[in-house]
Amino acid sequence: MFSKLMKRPCPIDEFEERWSELIEEYGVTNHQWILEIYSKRNQWAEAFFRGHFFAMMRSTQRAESMNSLLKQKNHAARICTRAILDHVLKEINADEDIVVQSMSLLKDRRYQFQFSNHTMKNPRSFAAIIDLDESKFECECLMLQSDGIPCRHIIRGFKNMRISTFPEKSINPRWFVEVGKKLIMDFPFPSVDKPKEVRFAKMNMECMHFSKLSSQKRKPFFDKSINVVRNLTPAAEDESDALSESDGEEILKEFVKNCTML
């Protein structure tokens, strides 16, 4: 229904009427995402293009970019937690300011891009690699490595490659809704009879407090905080669960040492 309304060459009044009927039918009148899309209707609805010259560009071509935008937002809304979704949507929207200076095929499905921001007076150029075969996504801005979400440069690269959903590993799994559901299933309510649940609850509380404090500090402190946590993660991911007591003490000493350097 949405697609048909988007491409319908009707007067603006008719579009507005049909839009109201559509969102009322699906009960999404006050949905934030719907309100945001509606505010940009002059960029994607055929009704607003009537009477304007577009050098014989087809309506499907004009709407292609908006289609990709909608699909990316829809996919992000399905897989991301509420805590991170706004940040992902911000990058999706900001990619409109990004210009692809160059795109070259390195090998198979491995591409190299050069990007710049056309809205800046003295734009900085960013290089990025998108490797679909190896599921590697690297940009000089390092947002994916630092925050766990794709930057506007990588998102622009996806659009250039006609990729409308986020590939595996382009968003850190920690931000997935399914991961949160699994944690709730594994640790619904901490019980004193279940040591793992108690440890999880304590660690979760401390980590949330630490995350809140570090996120409010300046970037150098924040970056060092993330590095401290990352240095501990490999040991925690040890599937053998065979760390000796002395190993554990060494890890904690290293953690305290790193914290004192923040």
Mean pLDDT (the chain, rounded) = 77
Average the pLDDT over 198-207 and give the result.
71
pLDDT (tens digit per residue) in 112-139: 999 988 777 788 899 999 999 999 999 9
pTM, to two decimals: 0.55
**Per-residue 3-state assignment (H helix, E strand, C coil) for 73-131:** HHHHHHHECHHHHHHHHHHHHHHHHEEEEEEEEEECCEEEEEEEECCCCCCCCEEEEEE
Average the pLDDT over 63-91 and give the result.
83
pLDDT at 208 over 80: no
* Better pLDDT: 105 or 44: 105
pLDDT at 138: 95
**Per-residue 3-state assignment (H helix, E strand, C coil) for 217-255:** CCHHHHHHHHHHHHHHHHHHCCCCCCCCHHHHHHHHHHH
pLDDT at 171 over 90: yes
pLDDT at 9 over 90: no
pLDDT at 130: 96
CA–CA dist 147, 201 (Å, integer): 23
CA–CA dist 206, 119 (Å, integer): 41
pLDDT (tens digit per residue) in 15-34: 899 889 888 887 878 877 77
pLDDT at 187: 54
pLDDT (tens digit per residue) in 88-103: 999 998 887 888 889 9
Confidence of residue 250 (pLDDT cuts 50, 70, 90): low
